[in-house]
Amino acid sequence: MQKITPFLWFTQDAEKAAKFYVSVFKGGKILKVLRCGEAGPGRPGTVMTVKFRILGQEFTALNGGPVFKFTPAISFVVHCSTQREVDYYWRKLTAGGKAVRCGWLEDRFGVSWQIVPDALIDLLGCKDSAKAARVTQAMMKMIKLDISKLQAAAHAPRARATRR
């Protein structure tokens, strides 16, 4: 059993959200659906929680009612090794949701995700601070991250200081 499990509070779409996530992430699986009994808290037979696994990480989704909403203060980062993978997760997770910027999006359930190519982490972590700055500037102009544009920014010629 993992020590920490993200617990996601949905108004009433816990099962729908869990099914969506396991369809997006290959190998995802619904592990357990717990339904309300006669004692509640919801109508008997309605879904209370759904335990699911995506990319080896277990989550629990709760139908908790309209008390709390998701915010971008908490997001899930999906590390991608190729642009094709970035494009896949971006397309799937923005369907019915909305693109934000710098690789961030909000899915149709209001959950925030960051779709991040590994190349970005490598480029930002390079020892050349001017190169990292150019990559940061390029990233800040993007909605969905584009590996080729990030790499082009990294390798762009440095601006030369002009003399007066």
pLDDT at 67: 94
Last residue of a domain, one of 41, 66, 91: 66
Q: What is the CATH number of the domain that holds 43?
A: 3.30.720.100
Residues 6+ apart with CB under 8 A from 152: 138
Residue 100: CB atoms within 10 Å: 17
**Per the structure, how many domains does the chain have?**
2
Distances (CA, A) of 93 to 13, 27, 76, 78, 126: 16, 16, 12, 11, 30
Q: Tell me: do 62 and 121 sit in the same domain.
A: no
Q: Which run of H or of E encompasses 68?
A: none
**Residue 121 lies inside a defined structural domain of this protein:** yes
Q: Tell me: do 74 and 118 sit in the same domain.
A: yes
**Residue 118 lies inside a defined structural domain of this protein:** yes
Asked whether residue 60 carries a pLDDT value surpassing 80, the answer given is: yes
Q: Tell me: do 95 and 152 sit in the same domain.
A: yes
Q: Tell me: do 80 and 108 sit in the same domain.
A: yes
Tell me the whole-structure pTM to 2 decimals: 0.91
Q: Tell me: do 87 and 56 sit in the same domain.
A: no
| Length of the chain, in residues | 164
19 φ, ψ (degrees, to nearest 5) = -65, -40
**Residue 163 lies inside a defined structural domain of this protein:** no
What are the tens digits of pLDDT across the range 3-55? 999 999 999 999 999 999 999 999 999 999 999 999 888 899 999 999 999 99
Mean pLDDT score of the chain, rounded to an integer? 94
**Residue 164 lies inside a defined structural domain of this protein:** no
Structural domain harbouring 17: 1-66
Strand partners, 49: 34, 62
